[in-house]
Structure 1
Amino acid sequence: MQRIRHSEGRPQVTGFFDTATSSVQYVVTDPDTRRCAIIDPVLDFDAASGATSTASADELLGYVKEHGLEVEWVLDTHPHADHLSAAQYLKQQTGAPTAIGQKITEVQALWKDIYHWPELACDGSQWDRLWAEGDRFSIGSLEVEVLFSPGHTLASVTYRVGDAAFVHDTLFQPDFGTARADFPGGDAQALWQSIQDLLALPEDTRIFTGHDYRPGGREPRWESTVAEQRRDNIHLQGQHEAGYIAMRNGRDQDLPMPALMLPSLQVNILGGRLPKAESNGRRYLKIPLNAF
């Protein structure tokens, strides 16, 4: 895939690890202008009680305030299946626009059928901006390039900011491997190609992952480089396309669905909005039985 020139600049990247979902949220800052973007924020949700909380998102806001930053964007890399997105809450708190990849409309159409949700608008209007492959925008003086990275989901994108790439659930840390591809709209062959596109970036590109599952109980990590991924990723060593697809499909057959998938997608295809309150003032999530 042809790439635009390598964006100059080195953003300051601060990761916030969410232990409950093994997710990593990011504040990406242009040191020259003190403007920043928030990537993949978590809205806390306790499935046992149905309680939501903004504690994780408020930690991000506390960091922004402490360091005198201005939030320019609230970005999601894809519609998450393992945590609720806090994008709308952060938009309300900061005024920053929200954005996601334009293929979200295809994901909405898939889940509209699964949830039997005839009133759902499948046009991406729940976000302020939908990105296409090759789109560019700015965080302060830093140029951001949007790369289409399907496979884990139909709508997955990578944000390349200077020497950093936020690759969501395509690559994990080298000692854990790569993402699953068995969700609705996922595809192992597309995932393989997305991985090859990322590995074709300059070898000193910093890779920031969307999760860390801490193999062996080690401390959380979320940063590597393209060179480290090429050399050490346990799913890619000596691998070719057909072998990878067979490995990925085989592994995915034995993986349980994420515990929060059905609640999460119902919120996340609305851009992080909770369901509307009903006549009694309460909000409800709809769970399709025996759908998977």
Structure 2
Amino acid sequence: MTSRTAIQAFFDDKTWTVSYVIADTASRAAAIVDPVLDFDFKSGRTATVQADRLLTHVREQGLQVQWILETHAHADHLSAARYVQDAVGGRIAIGEHIKQVQATFKKLYNLERYFLPNGSQFDHLFREDEVFHIGEVPVRAMLVPGHTPADMAYLVDGAVFVGDTLFMPDVGSARADFPGGDAHELFRSIRRLLALPRETRMFVCHDYPPKGRSPGWETTVAEQRTSNIHVHDGIGEDEFVRMRKARDEQLEVPTLILPSIQVNIRAGRLPPAEADGISYLKIPLNALGSGKAPT
């Protein structure tokens, strides 16, 4: 079957994040998945180097951006969704359970009273199995909770964009110890993804390659079912949950979790500027634990 879409990946070697541009080759309509806003934690400065790479591609290819798709409220990078929208348009969308994530983190950050955890910061909230289109190409939004309650995967033209739910087969699976995370739900979400046709192309949002391997981001359902070190065929739910909980107990808090989530639950907007015209990020003290390993 001839592919109706073109997929271009953009890897950020500072946050190990992969963003994507998906284009309908007939209509030149496009979606951008998980765009990254550069953020230097030491200086508190933002930049748009990574997002501008996507925008250059969009303009060079003559694409019309219809959607800016977030797989979840990321804990490892700031979203450039709002910057991208201001540059080329498109509707910023995420799963409807972002409201649960917003409510949790509104309390953690003690956000302003008028920040409403109702998802209104986004242009569209996807329901489970909702179908939308990139040009004429249908896309199915799949709810895959476990890493967070709001994780989504996007199934389009024989390819699925899985966010942080799964990594490359030699890296494994996402952690499940964030607020609202659940290892049992994560296992069930993974098995749902692995029930897709074996030839389905799978695109991950991060890669943390073992020594000796270059970063990668494309695999298949068949490869995951055969070789994923955490959840290949034959691994049952109880075994997976024991492994995941034991591993999560050893993981350190991601470096950018506190700066990033307060931006990402706002659909990529920085916090409102204060009287001096400057936006400030909050760092709640003694609110999160720490462990040992980064992934």
Give me the identity figure in percent: 53
Q: In the alignment, is the contact (CA less than 8 A) between 2:201 and 2:218 conserved in 1?
A: yes
C-alpha distance after superposition, 1:60-107 (max 9, x if no partner): 000011111111111101000000000111111112111000000000
Residue pair 2:72, 2:163 contacting (<8 A) in 1 also: yes
Report 1:66-105 matches (<5 A).
66-105=60-99
In the other structure, the counterpart of 1:149 is: 144
**Match in the other structure for 1:3:** none
5+ long unaligned stretches in structure 1: 1-6
Q: Which amino acid aligns with 2:251?
A: L
State the shift of 1:216 in Å: 1.1
User: Deviation digits for residues 204-223 of structure 1, max 9, x if unmatched?
Assistant: 00000010001114211000
The answer to whether the aligner puts 1:40 opposite 2:34 as a matched pair is yes
Distance of 2:273 and 2:112 partners within structure 1 = 18
* Structure 2 segments unaligned to the other structure (5+ residues): 289-295
Aligned Cα RMSD in Å?
Answer: 1.2
> Hey, what does 2:185 align to over in structure 1?
190
Structure 2 residue aligned with 1:4:
none
Write out the 4+ residue segments of structure 1 that deviate beyond 3 Å after TM superposition: 7-10
> Does 2:99 correspond to 1:117?
no
How far off its partner does 1:12 sit?
Answer: 1.2
Query: What are the within-5 Å matches in structure 2 for residues 231-270 of structure 1?
Result: 231-237=226-232, 238-270=234-266
In the alignment, the residues of structure 1 paired with residue 212 and residue 278 of structure 2 have an alpha-carbon distance, to the nearest angstrom, of: 39
CA shift for structure 1 position 9: 4.8
Per the alignment, in what secondary structure is the counterpart of residue 211 of structure 2? helix
- Number of residues of Structure 1 aligned to a counterpart in Structure 2: 286
- Does residue 162 of structure 2 align to residue 167 of structure 1? yes
User: In 1, are the aligned partners of 2:4 and 2:26 still within 8 Å (CA)?
Assistant: no
Query: Do the aligned residues in 2 keep the contact of 1:11 with 1:164 (CA within 8 Å)?
Result: no
- Correspondence for 2:203 among 203, 208, 225: 208
Q: In the TM superposition, what is the alpha-carbon distance from 1:11 to its structure 2 partner?
A: 2.0
- Distance in 2 between the 1:107 and 1:277 partners? 23
Partner of 2:270: 274
Deviations 1:121-151 (A, max 9, x none): 1010001100010101100111000100000
- TM-score, normalisation: structure 1: 0.96
Distance in 1 between residues matched to 2:258 and 2:118, nearest whole Å: 21
Structure 1 counterpart of 2:213: 218
Q: Could you say if the C-alpha distance between residues 188 and 215 of structure 1 is closer, same or farther in structure 2, counting changes exceeding 3 Å?
A: same
